[in-house]
Amino acid sequence: MNLLQFLIIITSIIFIFFWIDLYKRKKLNILHFIVFLGGWCLLIIFVISPNILDSFWKFFWTARWADLIVYAGLVFLAYSYILLLNKLSRQEHKDIQIIRELSITNSVGDLARVDTVFIMPAYNEKDTPIKIIWDVLSKWYGVILVDDWKNGDLVSKLHDKYKGKPLVTIKHIINLWQWWALETWAEYVRRFGDHIKYVVHFDSDWQHRLQDLKQFQDAFAKDPKLEIALGSRFLWSTVNMPKSKKITLKLGILFTRIFSWINLTDTHNGYRMMKKETLDKIHITMSDMSHASEILDIIKAKKIRYKEVPIVVIYSEYSISKWQKISNAFNIARNLIYKKIFFR
Q: What is the pLDDT of residue 209?
A: 87
User: Would you say residue 124 lies in a domain?
Assistant: no
Q: What is the pLDDT of residue 124?
A: 64
Rounded to whole angstroms, what are the CA distances from 271 to 111, 200, 262, 266, 310? 21, 7, 18, 11, 10
User: Would you say residue 226 lies in a domain?
Assistant: yes
User: Would you say residue 122 lies in a domain?
Assistant: no
Centre a 10 Å sphere on the Cβ of residue 180 and count the other Cβ atoms it contains.
24
Q: Which of 53, 75, 96 is the last residue in one of the domains?
A: 96
Q: Is 12 in a helix, a strand, or coil?
A: helix
Of residues 4, 9, 31, the one with CA closest to residue 19: 31
User: Would you say residue 211 lies in a domain?
Assistant: yes
Number of domains, the chain:
2
**Tens digits of pLDDT across the chain (344 residues):** 667 667 767 777 776 776 676 667 666 666 667 777 777 677 677 667 766 666 666 666 655 555 555 556 666 666 666 666 666 666 667 777 787 788 888 888 888 778 899 888 776 666 666 777 878 887 878 888 777 655 556 667 777 778 878 888 887 776 666 767 788 888 888 888 888 999 998 877 778 888 999 999 999 999 999 999 999 988 876 767 777 777 877 887 887 777 778 888 888 888 999 999 998 898 887 766 677 788 888 898 899 999 999 999 887 665 555 555 666 666 666 666 666 665 55
User: Would you say residue 194 lies in a domain?
Assistant: no
Q: pTM for this structure?
A: 0.69
User: Would you say residue 295 lies in a domain?
Assistant: yes
The rounded distance, in Å, linking the Cα atoms of 264 and 267 is 6
Q: Which of 96, 115, 140 is the last residue in one of the domains?
A: 96
Write out the residue range of the structural domain in which residue 57 sits. Answer: 3-96
User: Would you say residue 180 lies in a domain?
Assistant: no
Q: Which of 96, 130, 149 is the last residue in one of the domains?
A: 96
User: Would you say residue 257 lies in a domain?
Assistant: yes
Q: What is the pLDDT of residue 223?
A: 95
